[in-house]
A and B are shown apart, each in its own frame.
Chain A
Amino acid sequence: MTPTLNCPECQAVVQDYEAFCQSCGARLSPTAAPPTQAAASADPPSSQTRRLVERASQATLCLRCGGRVDADGYCGQCGAKAPSERDHFEAAPADWVAGVCDRGQAHAVNEDAMALWADADRAVLVVCDGVSSSSDSARAALAAAEAALGTLGNAVSTPESDLDAAFAAAASHANLAVLEASGSQPDNPPASTIAIATVTADGVRFGGVGDSRVYWLGPQPRCLTADDSVAAELIGQGVPREVAEESPQAHAITRWLGQGTPGADPRVGRFQPDGPGWLLVCSDGLWNYASSAEELAELVASLGGDDPAALARQLVKWANQRGGHDNITAALARVRP
């Protein structure tokens, strides 16, 4: 039995392999190799999550004009820079679960990330949004999403597991992944949001840190998650949503994954679908253009179809047509209770 270790800064309990305190983010001196990282990043049993390396041949056609992309990475027709595998990727682990993660128009780097797993009737959807002040955020967000997926994928596919505990563990592993991704800029460490949804036999679970969201777009549309943001705090104080979301600091998040977070534990909730509908996990690059669940439900209805991959692509395209001012991620699960 090893003695309990405490963070020298905040006195929280820390592990001997941790390089950072998961509570306050303070730098620690690990005395053991990290045992959890391998488990956290391992694919869940029947994972169909497409890893970035497998997408090497994906971008051979230009996303702007459909022309052929030359070996130099630019379209041979319109000259558009072909997105790197990190700039635009899609995943469709099952015919009812799919997502698209896209750089958008205005940002040079895609700091959003997405990781999906699904089988015939269970799914895990994770979306992360790296905070764009650090050059490590793109890497951190992807590592966080995949770490969370690894943990929850294992839990969801293991009968009798405690999913509420798995959500907490997933967020903790994601937080660790963000902390460990702060390589190139020690003075400017990366940070990320996370939004997670699971679909299992006993319904939908959701949770998050920051302002990425989980929506239910069914008979009675609603936003399931509560933002950790200044706007959400204003709304909590009674300011109307439209006013709060337009306020100058609206997008400042009050909790995040990464160094110095006031808390990285997700607020987990459960939900029983009230009919057929879409479960949407997205970053603010999408919901900035349609914040209320009603608007999003109308949008999804107007786009039509029941293919989640096509719908996710259309949602991303729609946000890009509105300016694509931020990275855009939309992950969907078609739910029929």
Chain B
Amino acid sequence: MASFESAVYQNEYLPDGGTDVNAIVTISCSQAGQAGQTGAGDAGEIIIVDTSGSMGQSNMEAAKAAAMVALDNILDQTYFAVIAGSHKAYLAYPVVQSGPGMVRMDADTRQAAKRAISYFRADGGTAMGTWLNLAKSLFDSVRISGNKHAILLTDGENHNERPSQLAAAIQNCTGAFQCDCRGVGVDWQVPEIRKIAQALLGTVDIIPNPADMPRVFAELMCRSMSRGVASADLRVWIPQGAQILFVRQVSPSVEDLTSRGAPVGPLTMSYPTGAWGDEERDYHVSVRLPARSLGQEQLAARVQLASGAQLLTQGLVKARWSADTNLTAQINPEVAHYTGQTELAQAIQEGLAAQAAGDVATATTKLGRAVQLAEQTQNFDATSKLRKVVDVQEAATGTVKLKKAVDKADVMALDTASTKTTRIRG
């Protein structure tokens, strides 16, 4: 049985007239068990492989090997399917025309699915919206109540669809399943794929070297299978008259959840967090309260993780008004750390967007600020990735120069990793 714990990091003291309360709520899960094995219902996995012409012989062969390794890591009894995607979506396995579009994993179905994958060849265009819509139809066809997860692999831009078509498909799939997205090579668009991953509560990353694909797919599938808690929601209660300024996941990566909330009562918003394994996630909750008089104490927010009607854990965010400036002036270190990390992600993304648009001045300023923030928040991974894109003259002041010649894969790696954060605690 999975067990959850939460901890709240904040400075609860507000000055006279102060209204804004910021807190980091850490939620940890242990003994999560395995997907589909915890009584929460059957789990389902769909592997979506780009089979467009641009994949070419070598990427296609690596992708086929990776898809087969992914199959090896799907637990027996799990429902699964394999989609081959080009300008249309093809159900490669199971081979059915109607009825349930997914089958349970066992030695025979695994072997048959591998055979189906072995017939893939690179041909046609790219329309990822159709791939996603087919995946949703397949999950719907077997009415899975446990984990629903897909891996999407692509190598290029979404040529054969208008952006609005992809956006509609993303909207259609939001809340229906989670999707981890991977791009091989450097011809795909990070922002395009990031939109899919963010909406479908997954991750995005670059696989610069095709030979790494099988390892990456194995890791992704193992992680998905280790999520014994099929689905949980972050619920934020605020007092009457208060306002949620924002709700962000800030670790392991920055995801702004604010616009994803749905009301579950007059004072409570619910934000989907997907499936949970044994892990810790940090959330930054910012609430604006009506100011109370000095000496008053009140609750600013109840931050809960819930699975359906079941409350898994709760953290209390408080507010106390005090005239003691020694208390009210302090910024909580966790809040400061993650505020910096969020700004870091934004600076990297804006800097790279400016660079792509040829705006050297803005790119230099933003990436310089990113270098400074990475240094301050000790995000060494971001620092080393930034150094492949800019020459750092002085990290402390954020003085940088854009490199003349940059490996595009390094730029994309910096972009995809921009939202990854470091933790302030061990």
Q: A residues within 8 Å of B by Cβ?
A: 65, 67, 70, 72, 74-81, 104-108, 323-324
Interface string of B281-315 (1 = CB under 8 A from A): 00000000100011111111010000000000010
Expressed in whole angstroms, the minimum distance between the Cβ of A207 and any Cβ of chain B is 32
Contact B295 A107 (CB under 8 A): yes
Q: Quick one: closest B residue to A320, CB to CB?
A: B293
Indicate whether B411 reaches chain A with its CB closer than 8 angstroms: no
Contact B314 A78 (CB under 8 A): no
Contact B295 A108 (CB under 8 A): yes
Contact A74 B293 (CB under 8 A): no
Partner pick for A81 among B240, B241, B298, B302, CB 8 A cutoff:
B298
Known: A65-B240, A79-B239, A79-B242. A74 touches B295 (CB 8 A): no
- Cα–Cα, bound, A13→B293 (Å): 49
Point out the residues of chain A lying under 8 angstroms from B316, CB to CB.
Answer: 72, 74
Please indicate which of the listed interface residues A74, A77, A105, A106 has the most CB atoms of chain B within 10 Å of its own CB.
A74
Partner pick for A79 among B294, B295, B298, B314, CB 8 A cutoff:
B298
Contact A105 B267 (CB under 8 A): no
The prevalent SS among residues of B at the interface is: loop
Point out the residues of chain B lying under 8 angstroms from A105, CB to CB.
Answer: 293-296
Expressed in whole angstroms, the minimum distance between the Cβ of A87 and any Cβ of chain B is 10
Q: Quick one: closest B residue to A107, CB to CB?
A: B295
Known: A65-B240, A79-B239, A79-B242. A74 touches B298 (CB 8 A): yes
Interface string of B357-371 (1 = CB under 8 A from A): 000000000000000
Point out the residues of chain A lying under 8 angstroms from B289, CB to CB.
Answer: 79
Known: A65-B240, A72-B314, A72-B316. A78 touches B296 (CB 8 A): no
Contact B293 A77 (CB under 8 A): no
Expressed in whole angstroms, the minimum distance between the Cβ of B315 and any Cβ of chain A is 10
Contact A77 B296 (CB under 8 A): no
Point out the residues of chain B lying under 8 angstroms from A106, CB to CB.
Answer: 293-295
Point out the residues of chain B lying under 8 angstroms from A76, CB to CB.
Answer: 237, 267
Q: Quick one: closest A residue to B266, CB to CB?
A: A77
Point out the residues of chain A lying under 8 angstroms from B302, CB to CB.
Answer: 70, 72, 74
Expressed in whole angstroms, the minimum distance between the Cβ of B216 and any Cβ of chain A is 43
- Cα–Cα, bound, A288→B299 (Å): 30
User: What would be 11 A-B contacts, judged by CB atoms less than 8 Å apart?
Assistant: A67-B240, A72-B302, A72-B314, A77-B240, A79-B240, A79-B299, A80-B298, A81-B298, A81-B299, A106-B293, A324-B293
Within 8 A of A (CB), among B56-96: none
Q: 3 closest pairs, A vs B, by CB?
A: A79-B239, A74-B299, A79-B299
- Cα–Cα, bound, A156→B238 (Å): 52
- Cα–Cα, bound, A36→B293 (Å): 44
Known: A78-B240, A324-B293. 5 other contacts (CB 8 A): A65-B240, A67-B240, A79-B240, A79-B242, A79-B289
Q: Quick one: closest A residue to B319, CB to CB?
A: A79
Expressed in whole angstroms, the minimum distance between the Cβ of B8 and any Cβ of chain A is 12
Expressed in whole angstroms, the minimum distance between the Cβ of B213 and any Cβ of chain A is 49
- Cα–Cα, bound, A101→B267 (Å): 32
Point out the residues of chain B lying under 8 angstroms from A72, CB to CB.
Answer: 299, 302, 314, 316
Known: A72-B302, A72-B314, A75-B239. A81 touches B295 (CB 8 A): no
Known: A65-B240, A72-B316, A74-B316. A79 touches B300 (CB 8 A): yes
Contact A77 B267 (CB under 8 A): yes
- Cα–Cα, bound, A76→B304 (Å): 14
Q: Quick one: closest A residue to B268, CB to CB?
A: A76
- Cα–Cα, bound, A195→B257 (Å): 57
Point out the residues of chain A lying under 8 angstroms from B294, CB to CB.
Answer: 105-106
Expressed in whole angstroms, the minimum distance between the Cβ of B77 and any Cβ of chain A is 39
Partner pick for B239 among A77, A108, A323, CB 8 A cutoff:
A77
Q: Quick one: closest A residue to B295, CB to CB?
A: A106
- Cα–Cα, bound, A108→B293 (Å): 12
Contact B298 A323 (CB under 8 A): no
Point out the residues of chain B lying under 8 angstroms from A65, CB to CB.
Answer: 240
Contact A78 B295 (CB under 8 A): no
Point out the residues of chain A lying under 8 angstroms from B267, CB to CB.
Answer: 76-77
Contact B241 A78 (CB under 8 A): yes
Expressed in whole angstroms, the minimum distance between the Cβ of B34 and any Cβ of chain A is 33
- Cα–Cα, bound, A75→B293 (Å): 17
Contact B293 A323 (CB under 8 A): yes
- Cα–Cα, bound, A209→B314 (Å): 48
Q: Quick one: closest B residue to A103, CB to CB?
A: B295
Point out the residues of chain A lying under 8 angstroms from B238, CB to CB.
Answer: 79
- Cα–Cα, bound, A74→B12 (Å): 15
Expressed in whole angstroms, the minimum distance between the Cβ of B236 and any Cβ of chain A is 12
Expressed in whole angstroms, the minimum distance between the Cβ of B6 and any Cβ of chain A is 13
Q: Quick one: closest B residue to A64, CB to CB?
A: B298
Expressed in whole angstroms, the minimum distance between the Cβ of A285 and any Cβ of chain B is 13
- Cα–Cα, bound, A1→B293 (Å): 60
- Cα–Cα, bound, A108→B296 (Å): 8
Expressed in whole angstroms, the minimum distance between the Cβ of A36 and any Cβ of chain B is 38
- Cα–Cα, bound, A76→B299 (Å): 9
Q: Quick one: closest A residue to B296, CB to CB?
A: A105
Point out the residues of chain B lying under 8 angstroms from A324, CB to CB.
Answer: 293
Please indicate which of the listed interface residues B238, B267, B299, B302 has the most CB atoms of chain A within 10 Å of its own CB.
B299
Expressed in whole angstroms, the minimum distance between the Cβ of B321 and any Cβ of chain A is 10
Point out the residues of chain B lying under 8 angstroms from A75, CB to CB.
Answer: 239, 298-299
- Cα–Cα, bound, A70→B268 (Å): 14
- Cα–Cα, bound, A72→B296 (Å): 17
- Cα–Cα, bound, A70→B302 (Å): 11
Contact A78 B293 (CB under 8 A): no
- Cα–Cα, bound, A79→B287 (Å): 12
- Cα–Cα, bound, A199→B162 (Å): 89
Point out the residues of chain A lying under 8 angstroms from B237, CB to CB.
Answer: 76
Expressed in whole angstroms, the minimum distance between the Cβ of A70 and any Cβ of chain B is 8
Expressed in whole angstroms, the minimum distance between the Cβ of A316 and any Cβ of chain B is 16
Expressed in whole angstroms, the minimum distance between the Cβ of B244 and any Cβ of chain A is 13
Expressed in whole angstroms, the minimum distance between the Cβ of A94 and any Cβ of chain B is 34
Within 8 A of A (CB), among B238-289: 238-242, 267, 289
- Cα–Cα, bound, A74→B289 (Å): 15
Point out the residues of chain A lying under 8 angstroms from B242, CB to CB.
Answer: 79
Point out the residues of chain A lying under 8 angstroms from B297, CB to CB.
Answer: 81, 108
Q: Quick one: closest A residue to B289, CB to CB?
A: A79
Expressed in whole angstroms, the minimum distance between the Cβ of A86 and any Cβ of chain B is 15
Expressed in whole angstroms, the minimum distance between the Cβ of B116 and any Cβ of chain A is 54
- Cα–Cα, bound, A65→B237 (Å): 17
Interface string of B312-326 (1 = CB under 8 A from A): 001010000000000
Q: Quick one: closest B residue to A77, CB to CB?
A: B240
- Cα–Cα, bound, A67→B237 (Å): 15
